[in-house]
Structure 1
Amino acid sequence: MQKEDVFKSILKGTAVLITGSGAHLDVKTPNNDDFPSGVNLAKQLYKLSNIDNPENPWDLQDAAETFQERFSAEDLVKEIRNQLRVGSIQKEHRELYSFKWQRVYTTNYDEVPLIATSKNGHSLALEPVTLKTPRRDNDLENNLCVYINGYIGRLTVQSLNDEFRLTGRSYLAADGLKESEWGSVFGEDLETADCIVIIGLSLAYDLDIKRFIFNKNVIEKTIFIESLNISSDKKRKLERMGSVEAIGMKAFVQELSEYQKKYRVTIDDKSYYCYKSFEIYEPKRPRKNATSFEVYDLFMSGQIKDSLWYRKNGKYSNLIFRQNLLDVIKCINEGVRVIYLHANLGNGKSLFIESLKHQLQNKGFKFFTLKEDYQGITAKDIRNIVNEPGSKIVIIENYYNFLSVIKQFGLYNMSGIQFVLSARTVLYDTRLCEVNDILKIGEGQSAIFNLNKLENREVYQIQTIINNNGLWGEKSNLSPSEKSKLLVGPKKGNRELQGIMLLLVNSTSMKKRIEQVVEEIKQLPGNYYDILILALLIKTMSLNISANDMGKILDIKVALDTHFVENPNVQEILEFSSGTAEFKLRSAITANAILQELDCNETIIKVLSKTAHYANYYAETEKYENILKNIISYSHVKTFLLKSSQREKFLLNYYNDLKELDYYKENSFYWLQYSIACTYVGRYDLAQTYLNSAYSWFRESERVVPFQLDTQQAKLYLLLIENGKTTDIKEKFLNAHALLMKPVISFKDNPAKQIVNFWSYTKSTVKNQMFTNGCGKEYCACCAEAYNKVQDYLRRVTEKREKSNFNELSKKLLKCSVKSDS
């Protein structure tokens, strides 16, 4: 990295500073003595402990522990406080810490960073935090100095073996950077910063930091500031981790200060603002039509090339124009504030959103699409989006993972901002009411669009695209009407992109390519195999995990392993052109197809268990808490369930493997999902046991009731009746009915989840058993009450397919309510 680029990054506030003991060598004690380095501190502690010839005189951990053993913990605390008292600091210290860094980290214990910025009214005064400091909501907006090994100002006998990493014992007992929630902040800072400046830190003993930095993308923007007389051996080792400037800290700060006088751009200059968490849409104006290879890549791996947006006579040549686009654009033009899009796995949500951007690219809208919720960056991005002039559309895919981002928008006046929020159909309404409440969305200010089914015109378009690009494979000789039937048939394409994709996969060379990739992946060594399985699961389950996060979760430096990076089958799923890992495979359908072919239950359990253990470290942050929820959510887990004969064994092993994690032990949601999974495989005995556990851990309040638990309990009662697994027909039916008729009192709960269970009432097996057991009168009365509840709900439904479905249910319930015999 060029020095000028380093200086610009620092002055724009996009550089991270990490300091070690070498940065504070010119500090003086109150007696005007030289400030002790780690080496000198170790020597002094050995001397005071009467250890004349220690095997390693530089071993501070052993020296501190020896002193504590010879005297006491109280004496060690007193001695360390005395040794690390700051008398005076140099000008370069004041200037270094007074720049607006993205974040400051130090492995030192002393107060030099705080003293350097402690002048009255100093706008950039640093606040100390340690790895044990709980994070507050607005902490990352403040100027923080993160003390990685502990802060002298908080050193006590208790913290000596808890957060102050000094003795060998404390290094073993205290949480390291990886285990702390500040570790996730540190990792994101390294990823999002334009530059990382490391001063006076050799990394020889700082393995925690070294593990974070040992990433090609981070190494390329890391610079070590070292003394003029650095040894060639030390320089050689440091250059593995970044570039080395052997000029000394004083000269570096002087040059930076001189550059600042000439450099006009400041951190407040909006024209230089670079969004990190959001992607800014760039208009697409392709001059050439997409090739058949590019269309094939779209179907096979979900890769969207600009050429796919080519239009001839105003019409796309190789993309479907979804009719819903016109309705969504109409809503946007009419000022609808929030638009919800939902579809099942692989049914085209992302492509629809890209089409929406393309349709509106010349209509005066600015699009901001959330890429990643970086804890220390997103708030700044949002503040800039709010202040941007003109009409803005914020797009958040899988929005239920990003409630904290939506809450940050909710803090501002959002005039001129509209939202497009997408999710899978099974999850889209789980947080819908909550979002409306956060954004203060009134009646008529939101709209919902179901993207699952293709209209006739859209089916014709996709049939034409497949024809023109020769993608029918072995079905090429079918007549146009036969092809059309394949695309719309209930057990074939089913008018869904997901079904059509599977048709193409099974009838073309795509299937052979998948089989080839599968066979090659199976031959990979264990670590490589695990990485690719996790990558496929992330796509299949829509987990908020980046390709780089995978390496941290599985403790593998994927982007630095040339054998892995250059493997052609790995390159089908991941790419490394930017120096860091990125997802190449974007198609959830293809990812799921590969997973099913691999037949790898044990590996799935292993990598998801490692993911859960990693996320458990940072469970207090929304991103990782959502990961912990999503990997146990049955609606996610069922997407990769393999052969039916293995489902029961897989599900029981999977949930059982996770139950000992701290986050799950007393978690009502975990036990509910375990119960749902057991219900699915017909283990109703276990389902009831785990549902009882879920109830026991549920915390009820005036506004929070066990809605999901009650709904699942009602479903379980009805399944027991339907499948002849109980003799208490009347009791269980009436109990189920009472639960389903409960009024919804929380905006988080969706009454449709209750109502869908009324379909069980209309099944002949349930009805016949009620009448056979002399409960016909009660059955009819319950059906009448259920009918009234459905009718009441229908008055508020606007979505066509949902309305049609519940109208049909309503008719059946009415019929059942007036039938007096079986």
Structure 2
Amino acid sequence: MDLQDAARRVHLQRSVAFFGAGFSRAATNYNGKSLADAGEFAEALSKAAGEEEILPLRLAAQIYQEKKCQPDIRDVIKTQYRAANISDDQLLIASLPWMQIYTTNYDDVIEVARRKAGLDANSVTVLDRPRDHAGYTAIVHLHGFVERITDSDWESSYALTDRQYAADILSQSGWPERFRSDAAYADSIFFFGYSLADLDIARLLYRDPSLREKTFFVIGANAGRATQLTVAPYGNVIARDISDVGAEFPDAEDVEAARAAPYLASLQELKLDVASQQASRDEIVNFLIKGDVDGAFITRDLVNATHDYYVAREQIGNAAKGLDGGPMRILLHSKLGNGKTCGLMEFAHYCLAEGRRVLAFNGDPDGLPHDIDYITGLGSVDQEKLVVFFEHGFSYASQIKYLIERFPLVSVVLTARSAALQTRVGDLTDAFGEDFEVYDLEGLTEDEARDFDDILYANGLWGSRQGDRLEARLDYITRSCRSDLATVLVDVCRSSDIFRRVRREFAGLDAQPPDIKRSVIVALSAAYSGVRLSVAQLCEVVQSDLFKYGSYQSNEIIREFVDFDRFEVSVRSPAFAKSVLNEVVPDHLILEFVPEILRRLDRLRDASAVYNDLLKALMRFGFIEGILTDEDKERKLVAYFEAIRASGVGINNPQFWLQYAIACMSFEDFVNADSHFTTAFGLASRWGGYDPYQIENHYAKFLLLSRVQTGHWNDYFEALSEANEILQRQVRNFREGFYPYRVAINYLEYVETHHEKFSRDQLDRISDWCAQLIKVSDSAPSAVRKSVYWTRARKALGDTRDYIAEVR
């Protein structure tokens, strides 16, 4: 993209402007003087403070204030930086239809220009929360704003004195992360009046090659060599004055101005791409071990009815049978690592082969309004051909519901983890209604297991089992691994060349900068959690510019997980990530780094849903329990949750205390679990609109297990009554899905253990409770009735009634 094209595209309202001190120089204040730049302001403050030499601005301002020079420094700013007159070029550039505006300037030049043009001037500072200003243009003053100089603003939103800079208010505000997010989404990014004083702001972009092409620094015709060299790594250097560059921006009515055209922002159109040749062993290894999938090889196997790279799934074929019918509502689910993403690619192939259009959601809900407009412009015939994919569908239930209500002819296919389906089937019912199909990808059929063995064997990936007979290998898949693909892949990972290489490289990380070690652990943690990070997001989490130093990009272990050519984190396999975290990364590093990562994610969570998803994932008991080694596991689990508590991240979060309680239950510390449940309930009651169903469900399980596995309590009937009250309420609410049935399975053991402590009347009441649960379960959604938990619970409840009939 060149300057002229970028300037035209501003009229699409998808570009970001950043204004530095040089932009405001042509304006005059109410004293008729030019707005002072940083150097001039520093000189004036230094002389007024009686300094013999001109100090840097931050020091000059600090000394001026400490000496209590008059007028007060805030009055000086008001005098110096209130604009009375602006130039035509400033009016033109500031009033362009920017998506977002950022500035380090204290002055109100941008506001004066936009008001003069009849536009809104929504000015904010670092005291304002980014999420409160999402969806419309804001003028973000990162270092303070002349129209908001009050005692509180001066201390907490200005970056002028040395003390204010030391406080580093900006980095804690959330606006740097918002700036990077806006930059990633923008068509183009313009820096006007950039100077060396703004170097820290330029570094907010990191040296991300994906942003460089669309970033333009207008630094002036007389800019020094140092300024040019400083900005060059971050974008295109435009050594021209603002008055000259302004002519590049056409009027909105000009034929040269870009015209808004239908485009996709959050939805990406998939195409039928067939690989011209068979995948190499390295490509197959990267796919199976690291999860680095190439859809063209999947399509090649499907077209040729082969399985050199990918094993076609029977359940996906079954789902595709509905292509000839009306609009589809389909859910594909499994545990992590069992092929949901590849299953979508397979399903896309069938759709495309039938002449359907497939749009895949990229995880950014901010762009969906644009895509709604796009779909609105299509006729009903074209809408009927559309199939929209949502991975991690439950995270976007409200968007899916809106899409279906708005476009009932559009087909929707989403994926979810089986655990999410168990807990949030009500969200799916709200979005889809009752008319949807559920397909379980959790488990290989006999034919699929045989085809998968062919791939492993042909590429020498079976490790020590490579020499076994076919029957032995298949028996291992079906019996030892219970036909679970993720379990097989964990074993394959341990035997892989990549795994051995990573083990070797990780051992040498102590001699490397700590950023590398943190980056590796974050990349692995995200992959194991099923959360996809871009390289820019990885940089954000570890607070390190991985593009900045060549040594980072050449580091062997970094290159195992980060593809710098495609700007993405390349490790996506939960099986591989779990293997490395469990067997290569020492437990003490996990206990040290992950709570730090959580603290950082807590700050980032409002900037993007990705950070919030990763925060919740890393806080779960299931995450940490799966990667810690067994030795002294109880102590390490407590240390992990205590580290999170001490960081302040979880102290006010009911979900944290629930996960801590679950951890305690795992090693039968029911007394502390009880305390943590109490805390979780207390916090949940103070959160407006918080639904405590997960806390209640696990508490019901706690009540049953704690009275069976310990003798600490003797309220046997009261505990069962309280648990039953929770379950009776939950089975009547579709939103709780499988959860109440998982707990009800424990009724039989509870009654068998304690029946002698119950009176005849109490036994009769328990039998009635079981009958009520069985009766209500008949009305459960079809997705629930197909689950093993529903079947087992009904059997356990029936057996409990039979047992009571025998012993009463």
TM-score (norm 1): 0.88
Does 1:711 pair with 2:697? Answer: yes
**Compared with structure 1, are the counterparts of its residues 355 and 188 closer, same or farther at alpha carbon in structure 2 (3 Å cutoff)?**
same
- The aligned residue for residue 788 of structure 1 is 772
Does 1:118 pair with 2:115? Answer: yes
Q: Distance in 2 between matches of 1:768 and 1:308?
A: 52
Equivalent positions of 1:633-712 (< 5 A) are 633-640=620-627, 642-699=628-685, 706-712=692-698
Q: Distance in 2 between matches of 1:474 and 1:745?
A: 48
**Cα distance per residue 1:500-547 (max 9 Å; x no partner):** 3234445xx52x541332121121223322211211111001235433
Q: Distance in 1 between matches of 2:375 and 2:596?
A: 36
Question: Could you say which structure has the higher helix fraction?
Answer: 2
C-alpha deviation, 1:119, in angstroms? 4.0
**Cα distance per residue 1:596-650 (max 9 Å; x no partner):** 111422222333222222222244456244333222122333332x222232122
- The aligned residue for residue 155 of structure 1 is 149
Counterpart secondary structure, 1:393: strand
Q: 1:296 aligns with which of 285, 302, 305?
A: 285
C-alpha deviation, 1:671, in angstroms? 0.8
**Counterpart residue type for residue 180 of structure 1:** S
C-alpha deviation, 1:460, in angstroms? 3.6
2:527–2:573 contact (8 Å) kept in structure 1: yes
- The aligned residue for residue 49 of structure 2 is 51
Does 1:99 pair with 2:96? Answer: yes
**Cα distance per residue 1:395-434 (max 9 Å; x no partner):** 2222344457557747x72233333222221123444423
**Cα distance per residue 1:721-743 (max 9 Å; x no partner):** 33234351624543454344441
Q: 1:576 aligns with which of 564, 568, 575?
A: 564
**Compared with structure 1, are the counterparts of its residues 9 and 37 closer, same or farther at alpha carbon in structure 2 (3 Å cutoff)?**
same
Q: Distance in 2 between matches of 1:365 and 1:197?
A: 39
- The aligned residue for residue 581 of structure 2 is 595
For structure 1, which runs of at least 5 residues remain unmatched after alignment?
none
Q: 2:307 aligns with which of 285, 299, 317?
A: 317
**Compared with structure 1, are the counterparts of its residues 501 and 801 closer, same or farther at alpha carbon in structure 2 (3 Å cutoff)?**
farther
C-alpha deviation, 1:775, in angstroms? 5.0
Q: Distance in 2 between matches of 1:537 and 1:719?
A: 31
Equivalent positions of 1:165-564 (< 5 A) are 165-173=159-167, 175-176=169-170, 178-204=171-197, 206-257=199-250, 261=254, 263=256, 265-266=258-259, 268-270=260-262, 273=263, 275-305=264-294, 306-311=296-301, 315-318=305-308, 319-331=310-322, 333-336=324-327, 338-373=329-364, 375=366, 377-388=367-378, 390=382, 391-402=385-396, 406=400, 409=403, 413-434=406-427, 436-437=429-430, 439=431, 441-444=432-435, 446-489=436-479, 492-505=480-493, 509-510=495-496, 512-524=497-509, 525=512, 526-543=514-531, 545-564=533-552
**Counterpart residue type for residue 237 of structure 2:** V
**Compared with structure 1, are the counterparts of its residues 67 and 721 closer, same or farther at alpha carbon in structure 2 (3 Å cutoff)?**
closer
2:270–2:358 contact (8 Å) kept in structure 1: yes
- The aligned residue for residue 18 of structure 2 is 18
2:9–2:258 contact (8 Å) kept in structure 1: no
**Compared with structure 1, are the counterparts of its residues 584 and 21 closer, same or farther at alpha carbon in structure 2 (3 Å cutoff)?**
same
Counterpart secondary structure, 1:342: strand
**Compared with structure 1, are the counterparts of its residues 786 and 314 closer, same or farther at alpha carbon in structure 2 (3 Å cutoff)?**
farther
Q: Distance in 1 between matches of 2:345 and 2:235?
A: 38
**Counterpart residue type for residue 629 of structure 1:** K
Stretch of structure 1 that moved more, 801-810 or 453-462: 801-810
Q: Distance in 1 between matches of 2:49 and 2:246?
A: 40
Q: Distance in 2 between matches of 1:464 and 1:241?
A: 48
**Counterpart residue type for residue 294 of structure 1:** E
TM-score (norm 2): 0.90
**Cα distance per residue 1:337-380 (max 9 Å; x no partner):** 542221112111111011011111133333222334275x4543
Does 1:6 pair with 2:6? Answer: yes
Number of aligned positions between the proteins: 796
C-alpha deviation, 1:803, in angstroms? 4.2
- The aligned residue for residue 631 of structure 1 is 618
Counterpart secondary structure, 1:560: coil
Counterpart secondary structure, 1:591: helix
Q: Distance in 2 between matches of 1:249 and 1:433?
A: 56
**Compared with structure 1, are the counterparts of its residues 398 and 725 closer, same or farther at alpha carbon in structure 2 (3 Å cutoff)?**
farther
Stretch of structure 1 that moved more, 479-488 or 606-615: 479-488
Q: Distance in 2 between matches of 1:57 and 1:259?
A: 45
C-alpha deviation, 1:672, in angstroms? 0.9
**Compared with structure 1, are the counterparts of its residues 560 and 245 closer, same or farther at alpha carbon in structure 2 (3 Å cutoff)?**
same
1:400–1:431 contact (8 Å) kept in structure 2: yes
C-alpha deviation, 1:198, in angstroms? 1.2
Q: Distance in 2 between matches of 1:781 and 1:513?
A: 59
C-alpha deviation, 1:219, in angstroms? 3.9
Q: Distance in 1 between matches of 2:607 and 2:328?
A: 28
1:161–1:173 contact (8 Å) kept in structure 2: no
C-alpha deviation, 1:662, in angstroms? 4.5
Q: Distance in 1 between matches of 2:719 and 2:31?
A: 84
**Counterpart residue type for residue 319 of structure 2:** V
Does 1:816 pair with 2:797? Answer: no
1:398–1:421 contact (8 Å) kept in structure 2: yes
1:203–1:209 contact (8 Å) kept in structure 2: no
1:540–1:588 contact (8 Å) kept in structure 2: yes
2:143–2:159 contact (8 Å) kept in structure 1: yes
C-alpha deviation, 1:680, in angstroms? 0.9
**Compared with structure 1, are the counterparts of its residues 658 and 109 closer, same or farther at alpha carbon in structure 2 (3 Å cutoff)?**
same
Q: Distance in 1 between matches of 2:314 and 2:302?
A: 18
Q: Distance in 2 between matches of 1:106 and 1:746?
A: 54
Q: 2:790 aligns with which of 776, 789, 806?
A: 806
Q: CA RMSD in A?
A: 3.2
**Compared with structure 1, are the counterparts of its residues 611 and 312 closer, same or farther at alpha carbon in structure 2 (3 Å cutoff)?**
closer
**Counterpart residue type for residue 753 of structure 2:** Q
Does 1:140 pair with 2:134? Answer: yes
Q: Distance in 2 between matches of 1:730 and 1:782?
A: 12
**Compared with structure 1, are the counterparts of its residues 504 and 224 closer, same or farther at alpha carbon in structure 2 (3 Å cutoff)?**
closer
**Compared with structure 1, are the counterparts of its residues 90 and 290 closer, same or farther at alpha carbon in structure 2 (3 Å cutoff)?**
same
Counterpart secondary structure, 1:361: helix
For structure 2, which runs of at least 5 residues remain unmatched after alignment?
none
Counterpart secondary structure, 1:161: helix
Q: Distance in 2 between matches of 1:119 and 1:754?
A: 62
1:27–1:35 contact (8 Å) kept in structure 2: yes
Q: Distance in 2 between matches of 1:136 and 1:161?
A: 23
**Compared with structure 1, are the counterparts of its residues 144 and 803 closer, same or farther at alpha carbon in structure 2 (3 Å cutoff)?**
closer
**Cα distance per residue 1:23-55 (max 9 Å; x no partner):** 1111122343222223333334445xx423354
**Counterpart residue type for residue 163 of structure 1:** S
Q: Distance in 1 between matches of 2:450 and 2:128?
A: 60
**Counterpart residue type for residue 133 of structure 1:** D
Counterpart secondary structure, 1:149: coil
C-alpha deviation, 1:498, in angstroms? 1.4
